[in-house]
Amino acid sequence: MPSRQPFTSLCQTLARPRSHGRVDLHIHTTFSDGTYRPAQVVELARRSGLAAVAITDHDTLAGIAAAQKAATDGLEIIPGVEITAEYQGRELHVLGYFVRLDDAPLTQALAELQARRAERFHEMIERLRALGVAVERDPISSVHEGTTLGRRHIAELLVKARKAANVREAFQRWLGDGGRVAVPKQRLPVAVAAALVRQAGGVAAWAHPPYDACTDALAGLQRLGIQAVEVDYPGSTARRGRELRGWARQLGMAVTGGSDCHGPDEPRRTLGSCSVTPAELETLRRLQP
């Protein structure tokens, strides 16, 4: 119960985490390329004072149930996904919120993306071997069923094989965009991704718009079924956030935001470091079909 003493109340307020009561709607777990298990995400969210978090693993819903099971004290776990999509020839990520975990069309589409990612994983392993860089052929033993395999898993294998000092070096030497062994991901047309999310009872949002994104691009995505735009995310400035919010208001779209947390090795992506308010979450929630 809050204290009636003004000084004590002030101390309690100052002691709260900066993210107290806010919501982080973009978090990855060990079910894709994150390093926190779902239960660890829940514990960190509690410590950060967050009111809600969205689990948005790449092309999979597999980590959500574990997070929901771990959240027993009122922390809301929003079922989400980050879908690999394409718009005008460029990769674009669609965040889906409030989706039903048993929706057949969505789960089937995600399973196909996961299968292609597994093929891509092994193709990159073979490209490394062709360069004389031998690593294990099989994924890391800790990978769960339903995990989306990605470049980070290969980077960890390279570190384990002592071919790179750390994950960052592995990306710099081989795995980065345009790197010597990089293989493009399969992408869904953005209209297809948005439709899958909405048919599963969810809300579709544009994740981390690039620096050259403009209001025309956002309007074009809205016509294809995108209902919200991420306005607070790593690398985005306060000025950019205000600009994106202005565009969203102009177009009648909702806003979202999140840390894009993948684990403890990226300080700018600490869980809760980027967020939106509970009121903004409610606006997003009201867009559900």
* pLDDT digits 0-9 by tens, 89-98: 999 999 999 9
User: Counting Cβ atoms within 10 Å, is residue 144 exposed (0-12), middle (13-18) or buried (19+)?
Assistant: middle
Q: What pLDDT digit, counting tens, does each position of 239-275 carry?
A: 999 999 999 999 999 999 999 999 998 888 999 999 9
Name the residue type at position 246: G
Tens of pLDDT, residues 36-56: 999 999 999 999 999 999 999
Q: Mean pLDDT for the chain? A: 90
pLDDT of residue 143: 66
Among 135, 182, 189, 188, smallest CA distance to 162 is for: 135
Lowest mean pLDDT among 159-163, 189-193, 279-283: 159-163
Asked whether residue 14 carries a pLDDT value surpassing 80, the answer given is: no
pTM of the shown model: 0.89
Evaluate if residue 181 carries a pLDDT over 50: yes
CATH code for the domain defined by 21-110+189-285? 3.20.20.140
Q: Is the pLDDT of residue 12 over 50?
A: no
CA pair distance 28, 259, nearest whole angstrom: 9
Tell me the average pLDDT across 215-244.
96
Tell whether the torsion through CA atoms of 126, 107, 140 and 33 is positive or negative.
positive
pLDDT of residue 209: 96
Domain boundaries, the chain: 21-110+189-285, 112-175
pLDDT score of 139: 60
- pLDDT at residue 205, rounded to an integer: 98
CB 164 within 8 A of CB 151: no
Average pLDDT estimate for 188-206: 98
Q: What is the 3-state secondary structure (H, E, C) of 88-136?
A: CCEEEEEEEECCCCCCHHHHHHHHHHHHHHHHHHHHHHHHHHHCCCCCC
Q: How confident is the model over 100-157, as pLDDT tens digits? A: 999 999 999 999 999 999 999 999 999 999 999 988 766 655 566 778 888 988 998 9
The pLDDT tens digits of the residues spanning 140-153 come to 555 667 788 889 88
Q: Helix (H, G, I), strand (E, B), or coil: what is residue 189?
A: strand
